[in-house]
Amino acid sequence: MQFFIDTADIDAIRELYATGLADGVTTNPSLIKKSGRDFTEVVTEICSIVSGPVSAEVIATDVKGMLSEGRKLASIAGNVVVKLPLTIDGLKACKTFSDEGIKTNVTLCFSANQALLAAKVGATYISPFIGRLDDIHIDGLDLIREIRVIYDNYGFETGILGASIRNPLHVKECALAGADVMTAPPAVIKALANHPLTDKGLAAFLSDAKAAGISV
């Protein structure tokens, strides 16, 4: 499973990408707003750091606007993935981009039927929002499982990108459910390495090494 970093924080991207634990980046207007910087400037800088896919979202809600904005975004760098909302207009734009060879990430997916439509128009990625479903007391991981079955039934090549990841448990469950990618904030990705028994064991080893006068 690939890991994407869900942020527009350049320093955080640079730090985590350098570890080799991340394969790409996802952004959205809300994340870039937090950065307080120009949208195109942020996307351009991210693409200069990350060689993998970088999702950048259109603002327009009509087909014509999405196509115009999407083409501008795709021209920034070869690894830009145009992020589109899961609406009829978004799906129409996705079909056009698919025909033009522009990679797409269809976002705000909350049902298996929506994911089926995205695959039919050739989306590169579909982004089911796990955490937001959990917020309304629906198991978001069930959606990942349903999409996996449907895509495998028909050989769809659209990648399942688990989004709205809130915690390490979400990451594990996405992997178990067969998601191709998950995107999460830097803090969640770092937290995957944490375990109290690891901390306890390391403390014991260091204490014993000190007591024995061991050095390397």
Positions marked active-site: 83
> Cα angle at 212 between 206 and 216, to 5 degrees?
65
Distance in angstroms (rounded) separating the CA atoms of residues 23 and 2: 6
Q: Under a CB-based contact definition with an 8 Å cutoff, are residues 79 and 53 in contact? A: yes
Tokens standing for residue 109: 């997916």
Amino acid identity of residue 203, one-letter, is A
With a CB cutoff of 8 Å and minimum separation 6, the contacts of 90 are: 66, 84, 106
Q: Under a CB-based contact definition with an 8 Å cutoff, are residues 54 and 25 in contact? A: yes
Distance in angstroms (rounded) separating the CA atoms of residues 40 and 42: 5
3-state helix, strand, coil in the chain (%, to 5): 55, 20, 30
Residue corresponding to tokens 């994911």: 115
Tokens standing for residue 141: 């991981």
